[in-house]
Amino acid sequence: MAEQKKKHKKRRTATRAAASIGPMVKEFIAGTVRAQREGAQKLAYSFIVCHHEEILRAMDVLPIWTENFAGVCGAKRDAERFLQRAESLGFSRSLCTYALCGLGFDHWREELGEMPPDAPWGGQARPDFMISTGQILCDPRAKWYQAAQQYMPDVPIYNIDLPYPLYHPDRDHREELPYYHKYIVEELKGLIAFVEEQTGKKMDYERLWERVRLSDKTWNLIEATYDLRSAIPCPMGTGDAMNTMVPINFMMATQDAYDFFLNLKQELEEKIKKKEGVVENEKYRLLWGGGLPSWFALGDFNYFNSKGAVFPAETTYRMVAPIAEMNIPKTDDPVEHLAWRWLGYWTFWYDKARQRKGGEPDVERLINYIERYKIDGVVMHEAFSCRTWHVGLIWQLHQLAKIYKPIPVLRLGKDGNKTQAWRENPSLVLESDIIDITSYSEVDTRNKIDAFIDTLESVAKSRVD
């Protein structure tokens, strides 16, 4: 069952900050294993993007980000043996491969009563409880921990449901917000009660406020930091952002996350001053417009770089938005604030989308980034096993091409006359998976990238502005 492990070359990063992430994650994972051994802190299996980090941190609960651990296995090209184990337990390969990897790992660890041999970075610690979620309509997020409970029947689960109003071009979502808000507050309070029961501690609401304020401050700092990437040449690309997503998604509500972005901001400002870009001769600026990356193939970002292409922005894992623009109502209750922030984030692009004919929030975000970061082309990745994040990506590209044509060109008519026309940004859809390496072909991927670069070149030549 064990796959042949080959030493995989480390990816080059452009920033010092991104390079520091690997050891940080390693230490974080080792820290959870230590904490479990020492028993001083309670550990909770958790999913990212649930706005509950503040609650967990305020109650000294250490989250174990199960998606992160699966991603680490993928990045180390060591997921296959856990995927195979999950398959042998009857789980289909077409389910979320993060979930499969986690389930394969958990089953192995529980069977042995210790970490599986050569567990990546020391392995994933056994949790005291699990917090699943129906968030973003992801079925594995609700079902994964239920399945894991087969191997850990003594570990309780709390499921947190975090909905938000769907977009409608002719309906103001604000009318529905109070209902959603009330519901989410109840869900978060339910979580607090559950954690209180599990830890035997009472929530200190002053401490919770401190954590919430720290997160808000970090959100704004991340926005300011990432905005620096609009500089030409671009000082940091998406390849690095796939590292710097760690403090955004796994360390929120900690001083470390805030300090990390302070350092990164400073580093980017220095690079901009020195006109130091990710690539020496920047030719194309690309937007990573959607899709989780193939963690085992992050070197593809370097391949783009070798062609003079850089990614100044990405929608993936940028799970923050400017707080000041959300019009969050004033409240004394940190839980209420968290619920408003949740709704503010997910409805952030609604008003802007309504102002454009055929507009749609996700597409509006793409357009905003294309303009803000001076983008020439859009790249997406369809990871087959994560339907949640990937359903609709192609539709977004189609809609984008339909409603947004920023490139002026001359078109030869049937009468032989040339007239001015506008065309869409070129786009590329890569296909593979988050951690299932069997779905990936380096030759195919790079051939596709080559063809895309040729397309960008010819579109650039045909521009008439």
Partner 1 sequence: MKCVMGIDMGSFRVKGVLWCQGSESVTFECPSGGDFEATARRAQKELLLISGRSANEIVGVLSTGYGSKSVMFADETRSDIACQCIGVHALFPSARTVIDVGDLHSKVFSLDENGAPLKFLLSGNCAGGSGRVLQIIAKVMNMKVEEIGEVSLKSKKPVDFSTGCVVFAESEAVSRLAEGVPKEDLLAGIHRALSSQINSLAERLGIEEDVVLVGGGARNPGLVKTLREVMGRDILVPEGPHMTAAYGAALLAGSLYNFKEM
Tell me the closest approach of the beta carbon of residue 318 to ligand SF4, in angstroms: 15
Among residues 139, 174, 450, 463, the one that binds partner 1 under rule CB under 8 A: 450
CB 454, min distance to partner 1, A: 4
Residue 140's contacts (CB-CB under 8 Å, 6 or more residues apart) are 95, 96, 98, 99, 388
How far, in Å, are 203, 292, 299, 355 from residue 239 at the CA level? 39, 12, 8, 33
- For ligand SF4, the binding residue among 116, 120, 140, 165 (CB under 6 A) is 140
- 98 makes contact, choosing from ligand SF4, partner 1, none, with CB < 5 to 8 Å by partner type, with ligand SF4
Residue with tokens 């967990």: 56
Q: Residue 448 binds what, of ligand SF4, partner 1, none (CB under 5 to 8 Å, by partner type)? A: partner 1
Per-residue binding string, partner 1, 389-408, x by CB under 8 A, is -----x---x----------
State both tokens at 326. Answer: 């959300």
Please, which residue, 238 or 385, has the CB nearer to ligand SF4? Answer: 385
Between 92 and 355, whose beta carbon lies closer to partner 1? 92
233: cis peptide before it, omega within 30°?
A: yes
Would you say 87 or 227 has its CB closer to ligand SF4?
Answer: 87
Q: Name every residue whose Cβ is closer than 8 Å to that of residue 174 and which is 6 or more positions away in sequence.
A: none
How many CA atoms does the CB half-sphere of 402 hold within 13 Å? Answer: 12
Per partner kind, with CB cut-offs from 5 to 8 A, the member of ligand SF4, partner 1, none near residue 388 is ligand SF4
411 binds partner 1 (CB under 8 A): yes
Interacting residue with ligand SF4 among 164, 261, 389, 452 (CB under 6 A): 389
The answer to whether residue 142 forms part of the interface with ligand SF4 (CB under 6 A) is no
Cβ nearer to partner 1, comparing 88 with 458: 458
Helix, strand, coil content of the chain in percent (nearest 5): 55, 10, 35
Q: Which of 222, 220, 444 is nearest to 313 (CA)?
A: 222
For residue 141, the partner it binds in partner 1, ligand SF4, none, with Cβ less than 5 to 8 A by kind, is ligand SF4
Q: Decide: is 441 part of the binding site for partner 1 (CB under 8 A).
A: yes
Between 99 and 453, name the residue whose CB sits nearer to partner 1: 453
Three-state SS at 382: strand
- In the complex with partner 1, the residue whose CB is nearer, 165 or 377, is 377
What's the rounded Cα separation, in Å, for the pair 171 and 148? Answer: 41
Is 82 a binding residue for ligand SF4 by CB under 6 A? The answer is no
Please answer whether residues 228 and 272 qualify as being in contact, where contact means their C-beta atoms are separated by less than 8 angstroms. yes
Pick out residues in 108-167 that bind partner 1 (CB under 8 A): none
Q: How far is the CB of 232 from partner 1 (least distance, A)?
A: 25
Identify what 67 binds: partner 1, ligand SF4, none; CB under 5 to 8 Å per kind.
ligand SF4
d(CA 126, CA 112): 12
Binding residues with partner 1: total (CB under 8 A): 27
Residue 78 to residue 428: CA distance in whole angstroms: 28
Residues 6+ apart with CB under 8 A from 172: none
Least separation in angstroms between residue 215's CB and partner 1 is: 40
**Long-range contact set of residues 353-362: C-beta below 8 Å, sequence gap at least 24:** 353/167, 353/169, 354/169, 356/403, 357/403, 358/399, 358/402, 358/403, 359/169, 359/403, 360/167, 360/396, 360/399, 361/167, 362/290, 362/315, 362/392, 362/396
Nearer CB in complex with partner 1: 232/409 = 409
The residues in 36-75 that bind ligand SF4, with binding defined as CB under 6 A, are: 67
Q: How far is the CB of 311 from ligand SF4 (least distance, A)?
A: 21
Quote the strand ranges of 34-169, DSSP E: 43-46, 62-65, 129-133, 157-160
Q: Would you count residue 423 as binding partner 1 (CB under 8 A)?
A: yes
- How many CB atoms are closer than 10 A to CB 402? 11
Q: How far is the CB of 334 from partner 1 (least distance, A)?
A: 46
Choosing from 34, 356, 372, 448, the residue that interacts with partner 1 (CB under 8 A) is: 448
Tokens of 361: 């929030």
Which residues of the shown chain bind partner 1 in the complex (CB under 8 A)? 394, 398, 409, 411-412, 423, 426-427, 429, 431-432, 439, 441, 443-444, 447-448, 450-455, 458-459, 461-462
Which residues of the shown chain bind ligand SF4 in the complex (CB under 6 A)? 67, 96, 98-99, 138, 140-141, 386, 388-389
